[in-house]
A = this chain, B = another copy of it.
Amino acid sequence: MKSLTYAEENYLKAIYHLSEEGKKEVSTNSISDELKTKPASVSDMIKKLAVKGVINHKKYQGVRITTSGIEAALQIVRKHRLWEVFLVNKLNFNWDEVHEVAEELEHIQSPLLIQRLDEFLGYPKYDPHGDPIPDETGTYKLKPKTPLNELQVGDSGQIIAVKDSSAAFLQYLDKVGAYIGAKIRVIDKVEFDGSLEILVDNKKNLFVSKDVSKNILITNI
């Protein structure tokens, strides 16, 4: 099993994330969207990843990640999320500042480093955005969660994760006082546009659009 280059790791991780959300087949265009490269570049890379056995590919038919590809991707995800925990918990980064840096740090090659970092952080199970951290074997715990927009008036729960980890979205959440662990109760729902009025931590009324609420994940009750 020859190892992956920096760019190959980024592609594989993108393919892994794309196959997670929904169907198994991942299209060339969706990969190029995700990574902001051109479809032609994706076609080239697909060939390399197929040769290394981390994906299967039939021409014009999209791409499917293999078992060994999932294993490799989970280790990259593990590193990414451990570094995010480090940045937030130890270096006082805000949760909207960690993604870019973790995107680089995840490629550092040193099993000892990751093992010790995990230990130093106290074997965290979730990253600052509520995403689960796989262990050395690739095992991770998925907490059941529901997008806020699917809750009904009167429903309540806690914010457990965010679907969108972009700086813009996280900064918005900071501004309105939403954070992982915050208590949420749905006060009112506008059927026309799917927007919600919610109560945060029993003290703050907030109006959120559907674009926002579908990116906030709530504990199942």
Contacts and interface: CB of A to CB of B under 8 A. Distances in A.
A140 to B, nearest CB: 22
A104 B108 contact: yes
Contacts of A108: 101, 104-105
Given A90-B120, A120-B91, A104 B112 contact: no
Kindly report how many copies of this chain are found in the complex they form together. Answer: 2
B93 A116 contact: yes
A137 interface: no
Interface string A52-94: 0000000000000000000000000000000000010011110
A97 B109 contact: no
Contact of A87 (B92, B109, B113, B119): B113
A164 interface: no
Interface residues of A, number: 19
A96 to B, nearest CB: 12
Contacts of A109: 104
Nearest to A90: B120
A112 B93 contact: yes
Nearest to A91: B116
Given A91-B116, A93-B112, A104-B110, 18 more contacts: A87-B113, A90-B120, A91-B113, A91-B117, A91-B119, A91-B120, A92-B116, A93-B116, A97-B112, A100-B110, A101-B108, A101-B110, A101-B112, A101-B113, A104-B108, A104-B109, A105-B105, A105-B108
> Nearest 5 CB-CB pairs, A to B?
A91-B116, A101-B110, A104-B108, A101-B113, A91-B120
